[in-house]
Amino acid sequence: MAEEFEFELIFALPKGAEDPFALSDAVFEAGFEDALVGTGMAGLLGVELITEGDDAESVILEAARALIRTLPEGTTLREVRPDLVSLADVAEKLNVKRQALQQREMPFPVAGGLYRIDEMMELLTAAREPQPGKRRPRFDLDPAQKWFRAGKAARKVNALLTMREIDPATVEFVTGSRSELAGVSARERA
């Protein structure tokens, strides 16, 4: 069953390929007419998408591959978000103030006030359950579900990029990598 996923792809651009209009045209050409395109930091391109599919990892990889084919030659996939998130990121998605989250039990941060999105989701999901002697939370997770659903897959894709199991220039599995071999054996069993 298809679900919607909300995520952002961050690309490193080759020198001289920073024309925001040309980049927006390339995103449109890749089939993402509703994408939010960010060119605010020189040398980087952010493309925020809401896309439908059966699983988040496949949706993220397919979108990244489609974009890499239309973006300037030499563009590489640098990062997928959401992966590590701040309280401000989560508060914005839940339409609450950051202080409302600070008053709750939170997972341990992993780096500089950033949290793993899937750990954050687990705690927020548990917080929705009524607990004796505690106030009910005043946030609604439902509008943010498509963002949270993409988080675990974003973390996995970032790990595969870091371990060089996915080529950042093609967004394809590196031949002979553990992930590529696992994908082949899974396809052979099907």
- Segment 77-121, tens digit of pLDDT: 999 999 999 999 999 999 999 988 888 888 999 988 899 999 999
| Domain boundaries for CATH 3.30.70 within the chain | 3-83+147-188
Asked if 77 contacts 168 with a C-beta cutoff of 8 angstroms, the reply is: yes
Q: Rounded to the nearest 10 degrees, what angle do helices 117-127 and 87-94 cross at?
A: 50
* Stretch 127-154: mean pLDDT: 84
CATH topology of domain 3-83+147-188: Alpha-Beta Plaits (3.30.70)
* Stretch 174-186: mean pLDDT: 62
The radius of gyration computed from the CA coordinates of the chain, to the nearest angstrom, equals 18
Taking only the tens place, the pLDDT of each residue in 8-27 is: 999 999 999 989 999 999 99
